Structure 1
Amino acid sequence: MTESRPSAAPAAVLWDMDGTLVDTEPYWIATEHAMADKYGGTWSQEQALSLVGNDLLSSGRVLKEAWGLPQSPAEVVEELLDGVVARVEESVPWQPGAPELLASLRDAGVPCALVTMSYERFVAPILRHLPAETFRVIVTGDQVERGKPHPEPYLTAAASLGLDPQDCVAIEDSNTGAKSAEAAGCAVLVVENHVPVLDGPRRVFRPTLQGLGPADVATVLAEVAARG
């Protein structure tokens, strides 16, 4: 039986994907290193982590320049996606507590959206492991003109749900993503993963998603509202 949405709950929860819903950052990094080896280039862990949260075309431009590739940034991204999609089709590495929180939000009647800079063909095999319509709205990097850290992705998700971003909580793991959600007006629940995230006026930090439910997400909105 579906519960009614708690009155204190956010109007919606807007989820980042890589590093937040699923721990796929190691897949991206492994693929980047494989491409560096293929093209005789070098690539460090520090360089890889600097791309976390970026829109893919920006990353494609960085990789093209780093390795002096003749391909366009878009072509570099497609090769990168080939490698990462192959890995995620073998195994989906869920972040601890993420599937459980998604399920509890669904049971509480809180709508969720996915806001990711990954492209649709990478998102699809992950969504196949979730119940249909887990996300009422899906915004991918190939659907927006300006990716994170620009607010467009989160503004697009909130508008598609017919909601004010200020009534929504975004869940993020990177500075780039948190900046995007904050600029859109969302309260941001930050769970750090591979990179440290700076403090911000609309950011609330938690060590993990494990054990969190709708009431815990509601406290994020309340904390941000109390700051004025």
Structure 2
Amino acid sequence: MASRLTNLSHITVSGKVFPPPQLFQNIPMLHRILEQVLEDWLRAVEPYQRQIENASSDSARLSAVTSGFAELQPSLLKSLFSYAFFFVAADNAYTSFYSELNRANNFSGLRLKHCKPPRETSFVRKVRMIRNIAIAHFPSKEADAIDAFAAMSWQPMALSWSNESHPDLEQLTFAPGRFRGTDAFGKSIQSQDFEVPGVKTMHYGHCLPYLDHYDEVCSSYLETLQAAMS
């Protein structure tokens, strides 16, 4: 997805620049990085998936699935964790961009009406949690003990398919299920949900629509301010 902000520029109010030029550069760059992370993952999967689809027998197909499942796990972690890291950076960048537009709107005295940013979805919260607990602060000393344990448990992974279709290694799933246990008082507890059903689903099904919505809100808000100040 190409950011709409690529063709826009900052506004100046009483000598102050809103938003900072770096955000105009970094947001489109972050979109490119996310796309490249997905492309790298699909490139890693492709030869294994081709073996599965071209297998001459069920046993050969199962062997290809087993091999791909085992050998692709480091690539999945590298791609998923990279994606989570840069997605959170993009989300934070849009939040900062939107905040800067609010400052410009208030500082100018225009008080223009504008759209609100997208609500953070449960999946977006999950990606942020993975970034915070499973990557940036690994092992976490701030999260609940059972969540910190779950975030450290990068394996097992999972792959499922129906009898009517070939296994799709693009859907190799991170952190299937939740950890369960008991606390110091004997009460049953369970970890947060860290499950991600494939980097491709993560990108197209959840993260890209969210970022695209944020991009549309920010670009529309900026254009409204620019029109009012022209």
Given the two structures, how large is their TM-score scaled by the length of structure 1? 0.26
Structure showing the higher helix proportion among its residues: 2
Larger of the two Rg values belongs to structure: 2
Structure showing the higher strand proportion among its residues: 1
Given the two structures, how large is their TM-score scaled by the length of structure 2? 0.26
